Amino acid sequence: MPTKLLPFFKSIIDQDTAPIVICDLAHTVVYMNPASVTRYHTDLTGKSIKSCHNADSNGKIDAVVGWFAESSKHNVVYTSRNDKENKDVYMVALRDGDGTLIGYYEKHEYRQPETAALYDMPTAR
């Protein structure tokens, strides 16, 4: 992949309003987008994601990463539902160009219908 694409990918992640926490296979947080730092009130970059989870959750993280490693077709696992925020949460595999597992991230899918008008372009968000 051309390195000139990297700023575009980072911008996609940074502009997402949902939290995105990216981890390597050692469970080290390699990047948190601004929405995730705001949501979790801290930047865990460089720290183990397991440090902020209990033993049961850490076991589930290990199980999902193990499943991801079994096949390049194993890529998304539904992990939780938050009715208060009307969202579902998933773990998603990250793979390099040849399909080798290199890490994972947490994806939040909010289910509220959009309230903005089509093509509404306010001066600030």
Beta partners for 78? 90
Q: Which domains does the chain have, with CATH numbers?
A: 3-110 (3.30.450.20)
pLDDT in tens, 3-59: 888 899 999 999 999 999 999 999 999 999 999 999 999 999 999 999 999 999 999
- pLDDT-based confidence at residue 123 (cuts at 50, 70, 90): confident
Please answer whether residues 53 and 61 qualify as being in contact, where contact means their C-beta atoms are separated by less than 8 angstroms.
yes
**53: helix, strand or coil:** coil
Q: Which letter, b or e, does each residue of 10-28 get, where b requires 16 or more Cβ atoms within 10 Å of its Cβ?
A: eeebeeeeebbbbbeeebb
Phi, psi angles (nearest 5°) of residue 84: -60, -40
Indicate the pairing of strand 101-110 with strand 87-95.
antiparallel
- For the stretch 109-115, contacts whose Cβ atoms lie closer than 8 Å and that sit 24 or more positions apart, written own/partner, are 109/18, 110/18, 110/85, 110/86, 111/86, 111/87, 112/86
| Mean residue pLDDT across the chain | 93
